[in-house]
């Protein structure tokens, strides 16, 4: 099953970083968040990706070309001008890096990936969020329910940290815990090919124009995920995710 990663937006809410790179290329630890997302899917046996590019898409292409070409050992014959490789690929992945336009909305961007999709259901997620969601269980849930689309529903992180009280004494601080009331779209979706027929053009916003219509037609089901989920919308989010990575036990690795 293929996975489409929407990685072409302008990332205007993270302008401190996205002025020089596309949002999915912002680094968490020693690698872009895009690679963290791909490694999550790979850990569950899914390594066939279509990356929907837009803003500064050439940087994404260059990253994967350089990563593949320069990893491992190189043997260079300066006189003959040949370069030989003697290494195994970092991952057994297949990637399509698809140019989907600069000012195309999420629905239009997804539909522009259609020529690269194989027959059958496929997965979709955003290029700016990590989670410990069980991808295998998500796919099984989708197949069991037999609807056109499945969306992972998550609890959003709280905007502020919490304090724990024992009477009037403060006993502990909790930094941005997950909210336990309400659910939001966490990405990590599974779609049947017919969903693309709901996309009317480049200006189609997938969340507003497609998912809302699928919900009205009772063709959208929620895979509830109570574990870790975090999007990367602000510089604060970038710093928090980097701190989690540097801790040596980032929570989005739990499902691997």
Give the DSSP letter string of 27-73: EETTEEHHHHHHHHHHHTT--EEEEEE-TTHHHHHHHHHHHHHHSSE
Q: What is the pTM assigned to this prediction?
A: 0.88
Nearest to 178 by CA among 198, 160, 157, 196: 157
* C-alpha–C-alpha distance, residues 121 and 149, integer Å: 9
Contact call for residues 142 and 150 (beta carbons, < 8 A): yes
Q: Give the pLDDT of residue 75.
A: 83
Pick the CATH number of 3-153+182-253 from 3.40.50.2000, 2.30.40.10, 3.90.550.10, 3.40.50.970: 3.90.550.10
Helix or strand run (H / E) with residue 139:
helix 135-145
The pairing of strands 122-126 and 3-7 is parallel
For residue 49, which phi and psi values (nearest 5 degrees)?
-120, 145
180 Cβ partners below 8 Å, 6+ apart?
155
List, for residues 67-114, the tens digit of each pLDDT value.
888 777 878 888 888 888 766 667 889 999 999 999 999 999 999 999
pLDDT given at position 14 = 82
Q: Please count the residues of the chain.
A: 256
Q: How many Cβ atoms are within 10 Å of 120's Cβ, its own excluded? A: 9
Share above pLDDT 90 across residues of the chain, in percent, rounded to a whole number: 70
Distance CA 253, CA 25 (A): 19
Quickly state the pLDDT bin for 254 (edges 50, 70, 90). confident
Do residues 50 and 116 lie in contact, with contact meaning Cβ atoms separated by under 8 Å? yes
Picking from 126-130, 168-172, 233-237, which range would have the lowest pLDDT averaged per residue? 168-172
60 neighbors 7 (Cβ within 8 angstroms): yes
Give residue-wise pLDDT tens across range 149-182.
Answer: 999 999 887 665 666 777 766 666 666 556 565 8
Residue with tokens 């600069």: 102
Q: Which two tokens stand for residue 13?
A: 């809410």
Over the chain, what is the mean pLDDT? 90
For residue 245, is pLDDT > 80? yes
Phi (first) and psi of residue 159, to 5 degrees: -70, -35
pLDDT given at position 82: 84
pLDDT of 251 above 70: yes
Please, what is the end-to-end C-alpha distance for the chain in angstroms? 18
Burial class (CB in 10 A: 0-12, 13-18, 19+), 112: buried
Q: Which residues contact 144 (CB under 8 A, 6 or more apart)?
A: none
Q: What share of the chain is helix, strand, coil (3-state, %, to 5)?
A: 35, 30, 40
**Burial class (CB within 10 angstroms; exposed 0-12, middle 13-18, buried 19+) of 47:** middle
């Amino acid at each position: 099953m293929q996975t489409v990663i929407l990685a072409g937006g302008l990332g205007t809410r993270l302008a401190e970083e996205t002025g020089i790179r596309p949002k999915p290329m912002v680094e968490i630890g020693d690698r872009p968040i895009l690679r963290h997302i791909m490694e999550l899917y790979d850990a569950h046996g899914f390594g066939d990706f279509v990356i929907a590019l837009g803003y500064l898409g050439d940087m994404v292409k260059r990253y994967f070309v350089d990563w593949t070409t320069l990893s491992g050992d190189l043997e260079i014959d300066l006189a003959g001008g040949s370069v030989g490789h003697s290494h195994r690929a970092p991952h057994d992945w297949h990637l399509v890096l698809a140019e989907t336009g600069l000012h195309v909305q999420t629905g239009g961007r997804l539909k522009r990936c259609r020529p690269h999709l194989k027959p059958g259901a496929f997965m979709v997620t955003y290029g700016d969020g990590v989670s410990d969601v069980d991808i295998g269980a998500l796919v099984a849930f989708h197949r069991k329910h037999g609807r056109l689309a499945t969306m992972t529903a998550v609890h959003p992180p709280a905007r502020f940290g919490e304090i724990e009280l024992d009477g009037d004494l403060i006993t502990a601080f909790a930094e941005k815990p997950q909210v336990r009331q309400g659910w939001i779209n966490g990405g990590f979706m599974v779609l049947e090919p017919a969903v693309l027929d709901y996309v009317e053009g480049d200006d189609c916003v997938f969340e507003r124009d497609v998912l809302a219509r699928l919900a009205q037609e009772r063709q959208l089901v929620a895979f509830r995920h109570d574990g870790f989920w975090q999007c990367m919308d602000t510089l604060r989010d970038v710093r928090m995710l980097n701190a989690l990575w540097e801790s040596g036990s980032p929570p989005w690795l739990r499902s691997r």
